Amino acid sequence: MRILAVELHRVAMPLVRPFETSFGRQTARDVLLVRVRTTDGDGWGECVAMADPVYSSEYVDGSEAVIRHYLAPALLAAQEVGAESVAGLLGFVVGHRMAKAAVETAVLDAQTRAEGISFGEYFGADRDAVDCGVSVGISSSIDELLAEVDGYVGEGYRRIKLKIKPGWDIEPVRAVRELIGELPLQVDANTAYTRADIEHLGRLDEFGLLLIEQPFVEEDILTHIVLSAAIETPVCLDESIVNAEVALDAIERGATSVVNIKAGRVGGYLEAVRVHDVCAELGVPVWCGGMLETGVGRAANVALAAMANFTLPGDTSGSSRYFAEDLTEPFELVDGRLAVPTGAGSGVDVRADALADWALRPPITLTA
């Protein structure tokens, strides 16, 4: 198919509660959506870059600029575009994986809608629903944390993940473990620790955690190897895993025994499937991370998480975890699970009224 136009939409979606990680606090989600208009129909992709470059080097204004000035013109200039050719067409741009993922997903959505197949079918998913976990931000007090976790347990979530940072780790984890009993529990440090903290992190072993996620900076594979050898809790890389080759290297060197897969971080769902496959071959379980996606991104994540080697619950929460109202039909938890959309493409539709109501500015339309 040919790409006739690329539209860039920006919306601000108020969060039901501020989300705090070791990097800071967010009260609204500033979302960039990409719509491609093609000779075969339209498709949507969501960019997961955050408003500020504090979680990753990418941030939403930067993603918008790189799509506008480099990625969209490259797609518009190509005679023939398919999801499988997007990475090659955009490969001349270094990095900017979240921006590339949004563009590739929009093309994949248009292509699979035209072919009448769902994302789940395209990825080779083998389940019709996925187990859901929930990611819980840093609270202002342990009491507040316990109240929030208790609410999620009541909603049926099958796994709790706590964000931790120095000064907010052992005691909150202990309190939550006491509250939830045997329910699966894991922690995410978002790179907040250093090699000097290895002994301290070993104190988490007594809580029987599923894993500890990304305690050290993303470039530092070596300290994760040292930690993996020093503690019992499995170490899981997130930010470090930027493609399938890095995943293979980190696994073979003993830095990670579980992998968090985020399509935005690895440049798109096609690469995410390759990361899944590499991990499956090596017997390493994976799970699907989350980036506060709207229904557009959530639909694709749920389809990805339905692949065979996604054996741990993902951060694929219901829409209501983040938003009072979603941009698409809402994702609702049933018995701790989300149904994998079955319609063609992502299987969800962007609500034109919501898109207009929450728009930060009129859409930008780029044509050949």
Residues that bind Mg ion (CB under 5 A): 188, 213, 238
Distance CA 214, CA 90 (A): 28
8 A C-beta contact, residue 311 and residue 339? no
Nearer residue to Mg ion within complex by CB, 204 or 350: 204
Pick the closer one to Mg ion by CB: 66 or 292: 292
Minimum separation from the CB atom of position 32 to Mg ion (A)? 21
* Residue 92 tokens, joined: 């001349």
Cα separations in angstroms, 347 against 64, 190, 216, 300, 329: 25, 31, 37, 9, 10
Shortest separation between residue 238's beta carbon and Mg ion, angstroms: 4
- 154: which 2 tokens? 């009541």
Q: Give residue 266's region: left, alpha or beta (phi > 0; psi -120 to 50).
A: alpha
Nearer to Mg ion, 64 or 188 (CB): 188
Question: Shortest approach of Mg ion to residue 221 CB, angstroms?
Answer: 16
What is the smallest separation between the CB atom of 158 and Mg ion, expressed in angstroms? Answer: 18
CB of 109 or CB of 239, closer to Mg ion: 239
Question: Which among 174, 90, 123, 145 has a CA at the least distance from the CA of 347?
Answer: 123
**Closer by beta carbon to Mg ion, 188 or else 293:** 188
Identify the active-site residue in 100, 161, 165, 262: 262
End-to-end CA distance of the chain: 14
Dihedrals φ, ψ of 246, to 5°? Answer: -65, -40
Beta-bridged to residue 162, according to DSSP, are 136, 187
**Three-state secondary structure string covering 96-110:** CHHHHHHHHHHHHHH
> And the tokens for 262?
């985020």
Shortest Å distance, C-beta 255 to Mg ion: 15
* Catalytic residue status for 262: yes
CB of 152 to Mg ion, least distance (A): 17
Residue closer to Mg ion, measured from CB, 110 or 136: 136
Residue 20 or 213 having the CB closest to Mg ion: 213
Residues 101, 45 contacting (CB under 8 angstroms): yes
Q: Which residues contact 87 (CB under 8 A, 6 or more apart)?
A: 100, 104, 267, 268, 270, 271
| Contact call for residues 292 and 19 (beta carbons, < 8 A) | yes
Q: Angle, to 10 degrees, between the axis of helix 269-281 and the axis of helix 244-252?
A: 20
Residue whose CB is nearest to Mg ion in the complex, by number: 238
| Burial group, residue 324, by CB count within 10 angstroms (0-12, 13-18, 19+) | exposed
CB of 189 to Mg ion, least distance (A): 8
| 351 alpha-carbon distance from chain centroid | 22
Q: Which residues are catalytic?
A: 163, 262
